[in-house]
Amino acid sequence: MDVTLPELDGVEATRRIRRSLPDVRVLMLTMHADADVVDRALKAGASGYLIKDCTIEEVAQAVRMAADGETAMSRDLAMRMLTEVKNLAVPTARAEDRIITKREEEVLQLIAAGGNAYYLAKFDGILGLDMPDIGAQQTGMSKEEFRAKLVAAGK
């Protein structure tokens, strides 16, 4: 789905599709790399967001990830967003003043490096992540359903 469409923008089209057909996955493929547009598209229910300069391999991987219920993002876009977040996270003397936690920064770095939910689950013990809980929140599945999906993906 492109963001720029002649009669209805792709974000609103995605919102309507997901409202009417919640099982349908929508993958954005557009020239718009603006963080606000990405945010609106993902909130509208897009399963991923790719910039048109991505490779055919990235598109194929994103389609597979979307079909598996995962969220895909162009690596360059993820790196840009991580850089923006890092620039916002000015070091301060107090940990509670950070914009994101150290763990959130580590997770963003793993995602920017191409990690999917199953890959991140491998780091559950290292990062102290509750991947079934995170995945359930992102997908609307129960923790048990998401845990079963992670186990199945690992086979």
**Mind listing the pLDDT tens digit for each residue in 10-52?**
999 999 999 999 999 999 998 888 888 888 898 999 999 998 8
Q: Is residue 66 part of a domain?
A: yes
Distance CA 21, CA 25 (A): 9
Element spanning 125, H or E: helix 124-127
Q: Is residue 107 part of a domain?
A: no
Q: Is residue 100 part of a domain?
A: no
Supply the DSSP symbol for 2. Answer: -
Q: Is residue 82 part of a domain?
A: no
Supply the DSSP symbol for 44. Answer: T
Domain containing 12 equals 1-73
**49-100 pLDDT per residue, tens:** 998 888 899 899 999 989 988 888 888 888 887 777 777 655 554 656 666 6
Looking at residue 8, its amino acid is L
Q: How many structural domains is the chain composed of?
A: 1
Q: Is residue 129 part of a domain?
A: no
Of the pLDDT bands very low, low, confident and very high (cuts 50, 70, 90), residue 155 is very low
Q: Is residue 54 part of a domain?
A: yes
Q: Is residue 81 part of a domain?
A: no
Q: The domain that contains 18 carries what CATH number?
A: 3.40.50.2300
Looking at residue 28, its amino acid is M
